[in-house]
Every structure is written in structure tokens, then in C-alpha cells.
Amino acid sequence: MSVRFVIDSLDFVRNAGIRRDKIPLLELTRLHDLLYDHAGEVTYQICGYFDDNNKPILCLEITGTINLCCQRCLDKLVQNIDLQTFLLLTENEAELDRNNEDDTMDAILAVPDLDVWSLIEEEIILSLSISSRHPDGMCKMHKLLSNENNSIDVSNLSHPFKALAAFKKIK
Ligand SMILES: [Zn+2]
């Protein structure tokens, strides 16, 4: 079993902490509902520093490739992850509310036991569009729907063949 990475967030900033590591997708269980399979891993880097105004910041970078389910045909949809987030650490809820009103930077509460993996999970989930699906020409279901439409609308007749060609190309 893997050991989750937990930091004292303010300490991490004071020590100019930096860590780079990989997490197997198998371990990111909150993502699993969205995934086609659990193959692969994401790479992250987290570092802490004080910005020009002496505010404690965590910078989080996440990269990797995950396999989502297409919401239309339920087949595999490969999604590249390439995220960079800056998070302002706040001392209390009031400060947190104040900061979240202005949209320039996300803020989180500075806690002594910040679970970095779960933060990463959250950032990935937030980054995914609510309805992820293949581009029209590459989706099986879209091809089927196009075929149905074509039996009514003759002017679109060439379309399914183009879609099929595109589909074959990526196979
Ligand atoms: Zn699809």
C-alpha cells in the first residue's frame, strides 16, 4: 500500500518545501467513477513559498494521462492532464471567505495535516469538464446518431462516411 503525502502546510512554506512524485491512478479512488480504467499515473510537484506580499503560497503542478469514459458512447476517452494551480494559505475561515470573493487566486485553509493526494484529486476533478466526450467525428455513438439522422435528412449523406474514416484512422 502506498503512503499518502501529508504536510503541515505553513511549515512546508516556511521551509520552502518542494516535492515531486508520482501517484498511481489506482490510489486516487475519488476519481474512479469518472475513469474508464485505472491504468497509469499522474506526476505532481508541490512547492511552498512566500509571495511578494509575504503571503504563504502553495504551487501545485499535475501532469499525466488518464482514461475517461466518453459520456456519449461510454468508450475510452484519453485525456491529458496539465495543471498548474497557486493556492493561498489562509489562517482562518474569515480570511478564506474574503479571498475566495476575489477570483485572482484560490485559497485554502492552512492546516497542519494537509493531504496532498486528496488536494490533487480535487484539482483534477475540478479541471475535467462536466460532460467529457469524444469529438463528433471520433465518437461511435455520434456515428450511430448521424446514421439515424441521415435516414431522414438526405443532404447529410456523406457525413457518416467521413466519421467512419476518422474513426478508423485513430484505431
Ligand atoms: Zn464517444
User: Ligand 1 center to residue 73 CA distance, Å?
Assistant: 4
DSSP string covering 25-46: GGG-GGGGGGBS----EEEEEE
Residue 151: pLDDT band (50, 70, 90) is: low
Q: 142 with 75, same domain? A: no
User: Ligand 1 center to residue 160 CA distance, Å?
Assistant: 14
Count how many domains the chain has: 2
Domain containing 145: what range? Answer: 134-171
Q: 89 with 148, same domain? A: no
Q: Is residue 1 part of a domain?
A: no
Q: 81 with 157, same domain? A: no
Q: 84 with 142, same domain? A: no
**pLDDT tens digits, 6-57:** 999 999 999 999 999 999 999 999 999 889 999 999 999 999 999 999 999 9
User: Ligand 1 center to residue 41 CA distance, Å?
Assistant: 23
pTM as predicted:
0.78
User: Ligand 1 center to residue 19 CA distance, Å?
Assistant: 37
Residue 37, C-alpha cell as written in the block? 480504467
